[in-house]
Amino acid sequence: MKLSKSYLGPAIAILVIVALYIMVSFKNEPASDNNLMQTESKESTQDRDIPSTNTSPSTSYPSPYTRDDLLKDPTAPSKDPRDYDSNGQFVPHNGPSKDAADYNSFGEYKPIEKMSQKELEEEFSKMLESNGLLNN
């Protein structure tokens, strides 16, 4: 099935949005300890202020992750539990937006509403490459 050129742009944008949603959903699934890669345990001075455990919903940081969980996950965009909302989605506690959809899979602030068609396609390609679904 071929799409006419007038539908190609919106079709790609929809695919990017669906792919972003799938990646965020997939990323939020708990990983088994057998699949985790070892990471260095050296702490930077910045890490000293990060809570070492997840916090309960009664506090201001309702993250479902502990700092140890995040240190074990090489794909986590941040090792700070405060940077995840109660659904486990990456939303930096001091970031420009509190909407998880405004961040790409690398933790960069990239709201899709403000991206050009070319930028959307590049983000989609990066996302597929980082998940081993596209080879250059």
Same domain, residue pair 81 and 101 = no
In a domain, 110, yes or no: yes
pLDDT of the residue at 13: 67
pLDDT of the residue at 43: 45
**What confidence tens digit (pLDDT) does each residue in 53-97 have?**
444 444 455 788 889 999 998 888 889 999 988 888 888 888 898
Question: What total of structural domains would you count in the chain?
Answer: 2
In a domain, 21, yes or no: no
**What confidence tens digit (pLDDT) does each residue in 98-131 have?**
888 888 877 888 888 888 999 989 988 888 887 7
In sequence order, what are the residues at sequence separation of 6 or more whose Cβ sits closer than 8 angstroms to the Cβ of residue 57? 86
Give residue 38's pLDDT band: very low, low, confident or very high (50, 70, 90): very low
In sequence order, what are the residues at sequence separation of 6 or more whose Cβ sits closer than 8 angstroms to the Cβ of residue 17? 112
